[in-house]
Amino acid sequence: MARRALLIFARSPEAEAAAKHLPIAKAAPLFRSLLDSWLAAARACEAVPIIASSTRLPVDALHVMQRGTAFGERLANSALDAWNLGFDSLLIAGIDAPPPRNLDQAFVGLETGSVDAVVAPARDGGLNLIGLRSPSFEFLLTVRLRERDLLRRCRSSFPSIFILPTVSDVDTLEDIAVAWHEEAWADFLDLLSDCLTLRLSGATTISFASRTFSGRTHTRAPPLAL
């Protein structure tokens, strides 16, 4: 079997929450759970998890240090460092969206050569995951933080693409409110709800109805203060 690696581009959960201007005490547990889910997803499809971070995180995974100034430079350098460890296929993801359930299919597409790239789109036009048949560092160098037309650029840059389901990524409280309604986030509803209990002075309250995932109803839906 091909040697697989999942490169997780990450800060600590606390730093992730702070960088997104989210309440650290409430949002850090969400990002910690997302990181754990990516680690578990990697191992479930026999991929080696690699953390790319500016500081070493206390998790059971290989680590590479982010190098460079611009986001694309750090992304490309981390991918190169991971690829140089001797893996045959590489997927790159962050920790602001849950892992797709068909991660194994993404690896298979790359390993069989049936596609040139694998992407998991975010609803804002960016990507939650990207996988390339070969380390296309020229393309990774052009990636900008929170880029809104990245999926479109991938479509025009690679002849064949395997597109995974679109899922919201979390950058703001508004994103968390949208994610609460998506089935892909079903395992994180309580953590999303905890974030949505934040109230700001003079805020407008928006309430959510209960919702059902895979035959079960979830009713813990606190108001969101914007």
Question: Per residue in 126-160, pLDDT tens?
Answer: 999 999 877 677 899 999 888 888 999 999 999 99
**pLDDT at residue 1, rounded to an integer:** 55
In percent, how much of the chain has pLDDT > 70? 86
**pLDDT at residue 198, rounded to an integer:** 63
Sheet-wide strand order for 47-53? 62-65, 47-53, 4-9, 89-93, 127-132, 117-121, 161-163
Do the strands 89-93 and 224-225 form a parallel or antiparallel pair, or are they unpaired?
A: unpaired
**pLDDT at residue 216, rounded to an integer:** 46
**pLDDT at residue 133, rounded to an integer:** 74
Distance CA 24, CA 129 (A): 24
Q: Residue 188 pLDDT > 80, yes or no?
A: yes
Of 25, 6, 16, which is closest to residue 95 (Cα–Cα)? 16
Residues 85-106 pLDDT 10s = 999 899 999 999 999 988 999 9
**pLDDT at residue 88, rounded to an integer:** 87
Of 200, 205, 198, 197, which is closest to residue 221 (Cα–Cα)? 197
Return all residues near 219 (Cβ < 8 A) that are at least 6 apart: 210
Q: Residue 36 pLDDT > 80, yes or no?
A: yes
Do the strands 205-206 and 211-213 form a parallel or antiparallel pair, or are they unpaired?
A: unpaired
pTM for the whole structure:
0.87
Q: What is the mean pLDDT of residues 193-216?
A: 55
**pLDDT at residue 15, rounded to an integer:** 96
Phi first, then psi: what are they for 218, rounded to 5°? -115, 125
**pLDDT at residue 146, rounded to an integer:** 81
Return all residues near 43 (Cβ < 8 A) that are at least 6 apart: 49
**pLDDT at residue 4, rounded to an integer:** 93
- Per-residue CA distances from 22 to 27, 96, 179, 186, 222 (Å): 6, 12, 15, 21, 17
